[in-house]
């Protein structure tokens, strides 16, 4: 039986966290606006990095609450002296949030395959008081990588961008480098077995994006750009993958139409 790790009060924020994530004055996402030049596939390049915080807040439902839940769960499973990884750390938003929740003996490691994202995340972490070990690594999950002494790994909308042929190896690598009773916390876009619900849920998602200021043109252009890049699984497929690769317990903890938050424990 796992011993419950109680987060010290000094590392557990009491106020609402974080909402909105986007700092005031952050550039507005207009990447897929009419007339904006863009390649055929979505890429995490310099243009995306510049507007990423605005993009994710307007594109991911309950993004602030997902961040809070991720931090709460990470604090529950993070062991003193261990390492917490954030795979697909992007601009460092989750790393910054985790930093305020976790015991200072916990090392934070951010991982991303986009040089512009890594540079941004490093700059943000460099601005923090040096109270713990922190680093951001440039790593492509499609190539071999190393995970060491992890008590928690976080993947927020990252595994869906890993090509399916590589996902089992990625999850096995994370599981192999995770301490017993350690956790993998991840959120993904998901699909349903029933095509009716797929269609309805996607329609509701696009309605949310319209409420957040995206035009039909922007929605359509981004959908086309993501078509061969973002490949979602069903929740059941994710569960089978995690249990097959070394984790022993699995639970869905968040759901909004075609978005799901899941946790697996070794």
What's 112's domain CATH number? 3.40.50.150
Q: Is 151 annotated as a binding residue?
A: no
The whole-angstrom separation of Cα 64 and Cα 240 is: 28
Q: According to the annotation, is 134 in a ligand binding site? A: no
At residue 233, the pLDDT reads: 98
Rounded to the nearest integer, the mean pLDDT of the chain is: 89
Domain boundaries, position 64: 46-265
The answer to whether residue 88 sits within a structural domain is yes
pLDDT value of residue 41:
65
Confidence of residue 8 (pLDDT cuts 50, 70, 90): very low
59 is in an annotated binding site: no
Does residue 175 carry a pLDDT above 90? yes
Q: Specify the number of domains making up the chain.
A: 1
**pLDDT > 80? residue 11:** no
Percent of the chain residues past pLDDT 70, beyond the cut? 86
Strands lying side by side in the sheet with 83-87:
134-138, 107-112, 83-87, 150-156, 178-189, 259-265, 249-256
Q: 5 or 189, which is more confident? A: 189
Residue 11 included in any domain = no
Identify the pLDDT of residue 35: 60
Give the pLDDT of residue 34. 60
pLDDT band, very low/low/confident/very high, at 9 (cuts 50, 70, 90) = very low
Question: Does residue 147 form part of some domain?
Answer: yes
Q: Give the pLDDT of residue 24.
A: 46
Residue 11, annotated as binding a ligand: no
Within a domain: 8? no
Binding site annotation covers 110? no
* 17: in domain: no
Report CA Rg, the chain: 18
What is the enclosing helix (H) or strand (E) of 120?
Answer: helix 115-126
Predicted pLDDT at 48: 80
Report the alpha-carbon distance of residue 151 to residue 176 in Å, rounded.
11
* pTM score: 0.88
The token duo for 73 is 């769960």
DSSP 171: H
Binding site annotation covers 81? Answer: no
Question: Mean pLDDT throughout 32-39?
Answer: 61
Cα dihedral sign for 9, 10, 14, 16?
A: negative
| Residue 63 among known ligand-binding residues | yes
pLDDT digits (tens, 9 = 90+) for 238-255: 999 999 999 999 999 999
Residue at 146 is within a domain: yes
Q: Where are the extended beta strands (E) located within the chain?
A: 83-87, 107-112, 134-138, 150-156, 178-189, 249-256, 259-265
pLDDT class of 49 with cuts at 50, 70, 90: confident
pLDDT of residue 25: 53
Indicate the range of 17-21, 121-125, 164-168, 223-227 predicted with least confidence: 17-21
Q: Angle of helix 195-211 relative to helix 216-226, nearest 10 degrees?
A: 130
Kindly state whether residue 109 falls inside one of the protein's structural domains: yes
Residue 19 lies in a domain: no
């Amino acid at each position: 039986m796992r011993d419950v790790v109680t987060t010290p009060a000094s590392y557990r924020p009491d106020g609402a966290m974080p909402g909105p994530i986007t700092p005031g004055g952050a550039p507005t996402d207009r990447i897929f606006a009419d007339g904006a030049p863009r390649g055929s596939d979505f890429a995490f390049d310099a243009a995306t990095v510049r507007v990423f915080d605005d993009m994710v807040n307007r594109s991911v439902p309950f993004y602030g609450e997902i961040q809070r839940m991720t931090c709460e769960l990470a604090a529950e499973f993070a062991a003193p002296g261990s390492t917490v990884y954030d795979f697909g750390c992007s601009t460092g938003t989750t790393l910054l949030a985790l930093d305020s929740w976790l015991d200072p003996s916990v090392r934070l490691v951010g991982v991303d395959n986009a040089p512009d994202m890594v540079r941004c995340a490093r700059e943000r972490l460099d601005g923090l008081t040096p109270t713990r070990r922190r680093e951001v690594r440039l790593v492509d999950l499609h190539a071999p990588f190393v995970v060491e002494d992890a008590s928690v790994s976080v993947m927020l909308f990252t595994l869906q961008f890993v090509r399916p042929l590589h996902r089992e190896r990625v999850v096995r690598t994370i599981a192999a480098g995770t301490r017993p009773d350690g956790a993998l916390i991840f959120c993904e876009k998901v699909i349903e077995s029933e095509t009716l619900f797929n269609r309805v849920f996607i329609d509701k998602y696009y309605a949310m994006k319209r409420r957040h200021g995206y035009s039909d043109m922007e929605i359509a252009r981004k959908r086309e750009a993501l078509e061969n890049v973002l490949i979602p699984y069903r929740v059941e497929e994710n569960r089978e993958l995690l249990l097959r690769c070394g984790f022993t317990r699995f639970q869905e903890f968040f759901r909004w139409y075609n978005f799901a938050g899941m946790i697996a424990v070794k």
